[in-house]
Homo-oligomer: A and B are copies of this chain.
């Protein structure tokens, strides 16, 4: 499970609380790589604590609730190091939009096009949140201060590249379907489908 290691990696760099992990790490950089919700983060912190991978100091703030600042232990560092040099099998492909498009022959043409447009909007939005790190050019490498900065820039560049590829492909799909004038004629395998007068549901 990579959430364990994602959290260890963040804490190895900067000790912080569960709330900070959510707000500062998983809503930004690390979240562009491995997304996790709040409940998952707190439960994983509990587990890491039980396993001795992390420890914490509760900061008593007068009036306010305690803030637990977690830090990685030596055991946690060892475990992280071991994971770093291992190799995982590739993460499986699961894309619900593709499942839809795969079956979209059952829809009239204009509906397929608007499906694609909706997906383009979502991916365009995602592209904005990925806040485009500047591409690393040959001469820039020497100007970057540390290995860490170079690796993080490289890492955060992939989600951007993948999102662009997705958007290019969506545009390609749109064009192909759009320039097919006969697509709204009945096709073998497509169900007869009238425009529902009343939208019945189960």
Contact = CB atoms under 8 A, between A and B. Distances in A.
A96 interface: yes
Interface residues of A, number: 88
Most buried by B among A87, A118, A168: A87
A198 interface: no
Nearest to A180: B141
B148 A94 contact: no
Number of copies: 2
Given A89-B122, A91-B94, A95-B91, A155 B9 contact: no
A58 interface: no
Most buried by B among A9, A123, A146, A155: A155
A152 B173 CA distance: 11
Interface in A68-105: 75, 77-85, 87-105
A5 B91 contact: no
A99 B161 contact: no
A151 B104 contact: yes
B101 A159 contact: no
Given A9-B99, A97-B88, A179-B141, A162 B166 contact: yes
Contact of A104 (B84, B157, B158): B84
A151 B105 contact: yes
B161 A165 contact: yes
Interface string A177-202: 10110010001111101000000111
